[in-house]
Amino acid sequence: MTTTLRTLLASAALTVAAGSAFATECIAPANPGGGWDFTCRQVGKILFDIGQVSSPVQVTNMAGAGGGLAFSTVVNERNTDADLIVAASSATTTRLAQKAFGDATADQVRWVGAIGADPGVIVVAKDSPFQTLSDLVEAIKADPSSVAFAGGSAAGGFDHMKPLQVMKAAGFTDIGAIKYIGVDGGADAITQTIGGFTQAMTGDMSEIVGFINSGDVRALAVLTEERVPGFDQIPTAREQGYDVVAVNWRGLYVPGGISDDEFNAWAEKLQAVADSDEWKQAMADNGLAPFTKVGPDFQAWVDQVIVDTTELSKEIGVIQ
């Protein structure tokens, strides 16, 4: 074990000890701020506010290895702790599928649910010749080198996966030929596309709202099951004939060694949060769209996401 890892683990242990008066703990696998921290703090607060837990939820920030430190800690040290929940997102399952956490696998924990999401989008500049998602798909089919996507994740990351899923749904098999340029965040990806350096941008709804409102970009598709409230002018990929749902969901996992009854109890608590007015307001305030999958339904969905991501990652050479 490296000195850095020992230090992180020791710091986490001290934080846990200091908060022992709390009955429930939520680990945010990152520093304060950002999506995982938001999930723990918002869900934790609402759990207490609506009476699903009897004491305030303690939030422990455990940054390290892009979520890998928290995952390892839960699996190896707290596998049966029924009072522990951990914030997760699409990045968590992508990294697990791509073996970014070493030999860790998604089935070492139990996936409680997702109760909101930042919808995936594919956008082009306002003067782009591509008027529909099908225009873009057909151009790639005719000449994969003619279209480059910009995204805020590295090659093989979640942004990269979105157009690959669309092209797979369109029956395109030469996935490795699709051009993708990873840049430093969604704003840079938008700039690349508006400037004509790439032909399309793949990212999340929250990254493009200002550009949509200013008219600098045109969204060809939102990758949700239904159109997003407030952005009803943007069609889904599904309604255009491409059965793809790709959202940066916000949710939780729990230790793999807890009982079925304990798992189901957490699923019920998370469903109560999803149904609450407090969570609906939190989503509206933070640009999240409804996306609720809880309990066994979510577990099955995650299992399929892992399979699909692994397959795509192999096709583009991210993993062997």
Mark out the alpha helices in the chain (DSSP H runs): 3-18, 35-49, 68-77, 90-97, 133-142, 158-169, 186-194, 205-214, 260-275, 277-286, 296-315
CATH topology of domain 3-117+249-315: D-Maltodextrin-Binding Protein; domain 2 (3.40.190)
Ranges of each domain in the chain? 3-117+249-315, 119-240
Task: Return the CATH architecture of domain 119-240.
Answer: 3-Layer(aba) Sandwich (3.40)
Cβ(204)–Cβ(120) below 8 Å: yes
pLDDT in tens, 241-258: 999 999 999 999 999 999
Helix 90-97 to helix 68-77 angle (10° resolution) is 80
Asked whether the predicted pLDDT for residue 140 surpasses 90, the reply is: yes
pLDDT in tens, 13-50: 434 333 445 689 999 999 998 889 999 999 999 999 99
- What are 110's two structure tokens? 């139990």
- Looking at the DSSP bridge assignments, the partners of residue 109 are 255
Estimate to the nearest angstrom the gap between the alpha carbon of 254 and the chain centroid: 17
Would you place residue 207 in the very low, low, confident or very high pLDDT band (cuts 50, 70, 90)?
confident
Cα 230 from Cα 122, distance rounded (Å): 17
Q: What is the pTM of this model?
A: 0.83
Does 3-117+249-315 match 119-240 in CATH topology?
A: yes
Length reported for the chain: 320
Tokens 């969204």 correspond to 219
Lowest mean pLDDT among 40-44, 287-291, 315-319: 287-291
Pairing of the two strands 200-204 and 109-125: antiparallel
Asked whether the predicted pLDDT for residue 77 surpasses 50, the reply is: yes
CB burial of 30-53 (b: ≥16 within 10 Å; e: otherwise) equals beeeebbbbbbbbbbbbbbebebb
Q: Determine the pLDDT at residue 55.
A: 96
The closest alpha carbon to 80, from 256, 223, 202, belongs to 256
- What are 198's two structure tokens? 């790439």
275, amino acid identity: D
